[in-house]
Every structure is written in structure tokens, then in C-alpha cells.
Structure 1
């Protein structure tokens, strides 16, 4: 039974119906129609009363949960969050996992990769003590355009495995608070006009669309295949809508784990040059060396290479690097200065130490090795399924067997204590999502718990969907 007979009038809100539902939920919480702790109707019940598909309601509930408006409790249902009334109507949506300590023992979170501790905490402690020894007058001053040069110079070690980055200099780098902040910075630096157009892969990292929305840009999805964005589809979209920026993940497409071949890279860059588009090359998953040239090396006049340490060393440090196009480094740093005055001195001191000592690259290699063991466990258990993966990458793309719906499989997995991301979380507005899920590798739980979670998924896949969806 629900605690409320609340329903929504979606006709009062423009745009896709799932977003109209989110707006209606916000409104109901603000005006008191939905009280903290109230249990909401089930997805099927609300979908029936509104005359929409269950997928529309599920997506609306999912976004509202990510905003903090709602909270989902395994086995009990969806409730209005006790904290939700504090949130405003423009609260930003980020697809970051939230963890309830009371449920940690019962749930294995495979939504976003969790790093194993293979020495990072000790290394960070040493770096923090080293930074403390050097505290002086510089800690009393604002970070300037040139005061982080020592860290930018040290950060070049991070690219030492990229042979085609030999010509990159400290002047080409911009330091950011992680990859998402780097994407935001590039958009702020590049976009012009009241409603600029950005292109992303039809299935893409959700942070692209969140950053586009915050920059009042229109984002359009471009068809993808096994190698990522299709150049002909991009060219057709540019002829119709114009555009200023492309967001792509060529080495480790998120979420499909695809890789863009050399011919595709050249073709995509040709379209970008033809229509004078800037390119964001997202390399935050820092896939193992592929032997393929980066887009930044192939198009140094227009490509912004974005990476971070969140998937390889520490998500909590919030440290990212943007390699700007030739001659655009200072413009990028000026944009960062106007936005957040650059990174704080303790962070740059700590990271410079990790780069200079070689610990950063060593920790990255050790973390990838540990995650590689987790990947082998997953492949051994689910090897008979249709999987997209790369060695050294911390997620796998599972195309579900015929008859399964991604949202249904994710709900069934959640009921068994395993959290996944369904494909529709990566689809752009009004886009089509395949029946697939992304499975992230959980390095933050024991091997036994991770193995049990994968066995749970295997057991679900062996059952007929019809018997679960009656």
C-alpha cells in the first residue's frame, strides 16, 4: 500500500514525459502535496494512472532519486526523501552513486567503478605530510594563472605512456577538479550564443548532457556503431543544426566499451574541420595503451583531451587534466581562473609529489592489475553472454538475451542486492536505448562479495524473462 494517492498532471510541463514527471515531483514536494517519508505508487500503478509506459515512470523516479528528491529502498518501494524539501527546482543531476551505510552489507554496487585500495591511502598520506612541510606564504595567496606551473610540469609524467603526446608542454595543460569539471571548463571556454549545439554519441556519459544543460546548450545524439560515433551521421546533423562542439570517448566508449579505429578517427576529424567544430576527447577511464593516436595528436588545433585520476587512483582527490588545443592553454586556464580560481594549493602540492616520485603511474598500474583480476572473474562467469569489454577497463557492457528489458533486469538485480546501470541512463533525451546494462567492477568490496554478485547476475540471466515479469 502507498501512503499517498498523489498523481501528476504531466500536461502542465513541457518536454519529455519523464522530465515532466520529475518537475511534477519537485512541485509536489515543495507545495507539501508529497510529505517526507511518504511512499509513492509503484512504477506500474503510476504508469497506468498517467497513461504512460512503465519505462517513463522508472526513468522519472530514477532522476528524482539521483537529485535526492526520492529514495528507493530494496524490497520496500520508493519514498519521498526526508531531505528532499531542501532541494530547489534547479538542483543539478549527476549520475554519481549514493551509498547507504545501512545497506552496504546487503548490496553490491556495480553502477560506478570502485577503486581497490592498493596503497593509495598510504601514498596520499605521505604526499599530504610532504605538502605540510612546505606550507609557507604561498598558502595565503590566491592560485594564479602561473602558480600551478610546477604541478602542470609534473603532471606531464601522467602522459608518459602516450607516445604521441611528446610535443605537449606544461603551457598546454589546464588543471581541474576532476573530469566533469574539465568538461564544464571546456564548454565554458568554447560555447558561444544563447543556444549553442553540442553533439555526443547516442549512448554517452551522462555528464556530457548535465554540463550542456548548465551551459544552456542543446545536446543532440549521433548514431553509433561498434567504433563509436558515425561520421556520416555527424555530418548530416551539422548540415541541419550547425553546432560548435563534439563530445566523444574514442578509446573506451562509455558505456559500450567500444574503441574507435584509425580510419574512423580521421573521418570524424574531417567532419569536425569541415564544420569548424571543437572536440572534447574524454579519456577519464584511461584505457590501456591502444597503439592508436589520440584525437588530440591528430587534430591539435581543435581537440581538448580530458582525463582524471578518479578511475585510476582516487575519486576523492578531484584532480583532472585538460590538454588544450595548440595555443589555447592560457585561454583554458583563464576560464578556470574565472570559474574557480584554479586548484587549491594543498591539492597541487600533493599531486605534484605523486607525479614527481612516479607513485601516480605505479598506483595506476597496480589498480588496473587488480581490476583486471575482477574482470577475469566476470568474464569467466558471464563469458557465454554478449559482452563488450577491454582488457584493463573497469566496466563491461552486457547486451541482454532476447526477451529481457534492461529496466526489468536492473530491477530484478536490485531486488537480489546488485545495483546496475541500465542503458537508458546513457541515452540522450528522446533517444533509443538498447536492452543492455553496464556492469562496473567493484574494487571496494571483497572478491567473495564481488563473485557472489556476478553469480547472482548469471543466475538471473539463466531464467526466462517471462517468468520474472508476470
Structure 2
């Protein structure tokens, strides 16, 4: 399909040009000027037509793709998402998968970890049936600030393996619709002013920047090394830009799989205290317990520890837990109440049963064991490469050999039926992406298909990039 002749008049839009472009794309789809499957102009072509920089168009395309408006196809271009349709004045396009696994047999998706079914479906079914038998008049009431206390008490068992969480109580917990929702709740609770500043690792979970954008915050990249965020770089960033919040993933840095040592943790907290920063400690990947003290235990007055069951039990349940700083639990729950009136009663009933029966932790351990087997398969095949990994963690960071570019490798892998995430998906703002890719462990496919996917990557790595590019 040839490029559409579509263009936009950004002079009628207020605010930054890249956001004006996103709004223009929405309007074009709503009016039917842009139809599903239509190919958009290249970044340089549209930038020339609009009289803006290519970076402005690239950023607008990126946001529109994240929202599900557009679909980027490696090596082919950017298209209006085939999941989109003409919208009425008040309708919105929600992000959806751009691939149909059943329609595209042979594709192995290693972009996000896929949980194996090691008993979750049966456990959830039992818990749902038991919860259904207890439905009563309380289901007719709104969930209030106190009405989820029974679930918060049960959820404390999720942290029973952490010896430094002994002083945490149900009053410290905020229940959320998964980890991403937890990040949003914390930002809503902590950020003040028209354009607050958030600091995050230069390579970071994309959800941090999505949440920052929703909260009209400016996010600043801070340099990292093998242990994560560098305290001296954070100090310099705070002196230059100020800041209210810093986001870090100390136990299983996403995407590099690095781990922050104790000296680094203490140094980072010292900087946070010096500049009065609140801390988001992202623990959603629930790496096996390391014995290292959490940031929440080292800085209980300012650290928000975020956990989730999405990477270990069920992504579909949308259940997350925020451990608020001391004395801030009620403030966090009040923010959640104002946002979504708390979790629905069926979710809290089901999760309470999984926590109280001990099945939640058991399923977590079994999922980690299965991911461990997949990890060993990957390490046996790619062990001669430069890899970042941890036992029990569900992704691996592959630094590509000299000559490879992450985008080229991802494109070649996709052509062979294997989907990866290139490093540039984790870069904040205009940062420089290393030539690396993240490989997630696919627990949702058979071991044979997973092995074939890894063998495909191995064959690609054994060939020189110049032999593949034409």
C-alpha cells in the first residue's frame, strides 16, 4: 500500500507539536480520513510537510502507537491500526494486540513474559466458585476505604518471605489494578504543581513514562550501570532539574536484569533524602528473594514498594499491592478511592482465598521454577553471548555482537517468526539506546516451540550482519 496523502494543520492545535500531531491523528481516524490499514507518510516526509523536526513526528508516532492508534511494522512502515474503526465524538481507541496468535501460527512472541499454566486456572476457578457462594448484600455497596481490609490482611502473606517486611501492616497497603495502576496511584498521590519532575533510569520500564505523561509530569533520564541508577548522576539531575519522585527497580532492573548492591542502595537513599525525593521501588517482576534489604525497609519514610501478581500468577486478574511509606497508607487508599473506588469485591474475594490458602505463594514458586527451566534452555543455546540474567527471572538482556544493530536484529528475528523488544523501547526521551534486545521467556508456548525460537536467534547471531542485510 502506498503512503496516504494525509497531512495535518498543527497551527490550530495548542501545546507541544508532537501532542498536537497525536490529536490530529485521532481526529483523522474519527472522521474517517485515515482508514484502518492505511500507510502513513515516513517520519521525514511528514516532518517536511508539517514544517517540524523529524524528532517531533517520531515522538508523535510513538505515542499514537502506544495508544493503539497506529501500528509500526518493522521494515515496512507505520500504519493506521487494523484494530481501529471510525469513532463517534466520544469514543476512544484502546490499545489492543496488533497480532492474532491463532491467525499467525509459527510466531513466537518473546516481547513480554508469558506465564505457563502451572495450576493457576484451576486455583482461580476454585476461588471463584467459593467466592460466588458467599455473595450477599455487601455486593450492593461501594467498596470503601475500610471494606478491603480483609484482603489487605491476607495480602501480607505475599511478603512473608521478606524478613525486612516484618513491621509492615495491612494499614500500609494499597490494593490496585496491577502494578501499572499502582505506579499511577503513587504519582497522583505524590506529585504537585503544573509540571512536576520525575527521575527514572536511562533504560527503564516504559510504564514509568506512560504514567508520567498521564500525570503531566516531566520525566528525566538518569545514567545507569550494571547495578542500576548511579547515585551521583541522580544528584546532578536533581541539582539541575529539581524533582519530586524517583523510579527504580533495584532487584531485577528492567530491561537489563541488573541488581543493585547494598552500598548502592544506601547511596541512592542518601541522595533521595538530600533532595526530598519520594521513591517508587518497582518489584513487579518478583525476582527470587535475594536477602538484600528493600528500599522500603531502608527508607520507610519515603519509599513506595510496588508489587504485582501479573508476572507470577495471573496477568488477567489485574491485582497489585503498594506498600506505602509509614503513615501514608490511608493517603494512598484515599487516592485510589478517588480514582476508582477501590478494587471490585469479586477480585478481593478471590485473591483473599488464594492468599489465605497459601496457593498464591505456591503458584509463584512453581512459575519461577518453570521459568528457570526455560532460562536454562536459553543459556545453553546462547551462553557464549553477553547476557544479563538472574535465576528465576523471566527475561534476559542480550548485548549484541559487534556489527549488529538492535533494530536490524529485531527485524531479522521477526522475519524468522520470533518477536523481541529492542533496547530503544526502553530509552527515555532522546537517550542513546545500546545495541541490545530483551528476550522474554515464553511460558505460554510448548518447550519445543520455545527451543526452536531460541535456536533461530542463535543462528542469526552466528552470521555476520552484512550477510543478512541487502
Fold-level similarity (TM above 0.5): yes
Count of aligned residue pairs for this structure pair: 469
Within 1, Cα distance between the matches of 2:204 and 2:93?
Answer: 18
Residue in 2 aligned with 1:339?
Answer: 339
1:49 to 1:369, Cα distance in 2 relative to 1, 3 A: farther
**Which residue of structure 1 lines up, in the alignment, with residue 142 of structure 2?**
142
**Residues 1:310 and 2:286 are matched in the alignment:** no
Encode CA deviations 1:155-205: one digit per residue, 9 max, x unaligned.
Answer: 111001101101111111111110011111111111111111110001111
Q: CA RMSD in A?
A: 3.0
Q: Secondary structure at the match of 1:289?
A: coil
Does the residue aligned with 1:86 lie in a helix, a strand or coil?
coil
Provide the residue aligned with 1:249 in structure 2. 249
- C-alpha spacing 1:226/1:44, structure 2 compared with 1 (3 Å): same
Relative to structure 1, is the Cα distance of residues 412 and 48 closer, same or farther in structure 2, using a 3 angstrom cutoff?
A: farther
Checking the alignment, whether the CA contact within 8 Å between 1:195 and 1:216 is kept in structure 2 is yes
Instruction: Give the equivalent residue in structure 1 for 2:186.
Output: 186
Deviation, 1:71, is 3.5
Secondary structure of 1:155's counterpart equals helix
Q: For 1:306, what is the secondary structure of its paired residue? A: strand
After superposing the two structures, state which structure 1 stretch, 8-17 or 456-465, moved more: 8-17
Residue 9 of structure 1: CA displacement? 8.4
> With structure 1 as the length reference, what TM-score do the two structures score?
0.91
Q: For residue 86 of structure 1, what is the aligned residue in structure 2?
A: 87
Hey, what's the Cα distance between the residues in 2 that align with 1:89 and 1:395?
A: 39
Taking a change above 3 Å as real, the CA distance of residues 198 and 128 of structure 1, as seen in their structure-2 partners, is same
Check conservation: 2:200, 2:219, Cα contact below 8 A: yes
Q: 203-212 vs 80-89, which deviates more?
A: 80-89
1:129 paired residue number: 129
Which residue matches 1:166?
Answer: 166
Q: 1:254 to 1:337 in 2, by over 3 A?
A: same
Task: Kindly state the Cα deviation for residue 30 of structure 1 after the two structures are TM-superposed.
Answer: 4.6
The C-alpha deviation readout for 1:212-253, integer Å capped at 9, x for no partner, is 111111110100000000100111111111111110000000
Is this contact kept in 1: 2:68–2:93, CA < 8 A? Answer: no
Structure-to-structure mapping, 1:294-443, within 5 angstroms: 294-443=294-443
Return 5+ residue gaps in structure 2 as ranges.
none
TM-fit CA distance, 1:45: 8.2
Scaled by the length of structure 2, the TM-score of the pair is 0.91
Q: Is the 8 A contact 2:69 2:93 kept in 1?
A: no
C-alpha deviation, 1:38, in angstroms: 2.2
User: CA, structure 1 residues 204+17, in 2 after alignment: closer, same or farther (shift >3 Å)?
Assistant: farther
Partners in 2 of 1:142 and 1:331 — Cα distance?
19
Whether contact under 8 Å (1:251, 1:260) holds in the other structure is yes
| Shift in alpha-carbon separation, 1:194–1:21, aligned structure 2, 3 A | closer
| TM-superposed deviation, 1:409 | 1.2
Provide Cα deviations, 1:424-455, integer angstroms capped at 9, x if missing partner: 11111111111111111111111111111111
* Structure 1 partner of 2:467: 467
Gap change, CA 1:89 and 1:183, over 3 Å in 2: farther
Q: Provide the rounded CA distance (Å) in 1 between the counterparts of 2:16 and 2:392.
A: 37
Could you say if the C-alpha distance between residues 47 and 385 of structure 1 is closer, same or farther in structure 2, counting changes exceeding 3 Å? farther
Contact persistence 1:115–1:367 (CA under 8 A): yes
The answer to whether the 8 Å contact 1:258/1:389 transfers is: yes
1:237-316 superposed matches below 5 A: 237-316=237-316
Alignment gaps of 5+ in structure 1: none
Alpha-carbon offset, residue 43 of structure 1? 7.7
Instruction: Say which SS state the counterpart of residue 450 (structure 1) adopts.
Output: helix
Deviation at 1:14, TM superposition (A): 9.7
In 2: Cα distance, 1:428 partner to 1:128 partner: 41
Distance (whole Å) between structure 2 residues aligned to residue 93 and residue 209 of structure 1: 18
Cα–Cα, structure 1 residues 13 and 109, in superposed 2: closer, same or farther, change >3 Å? farther
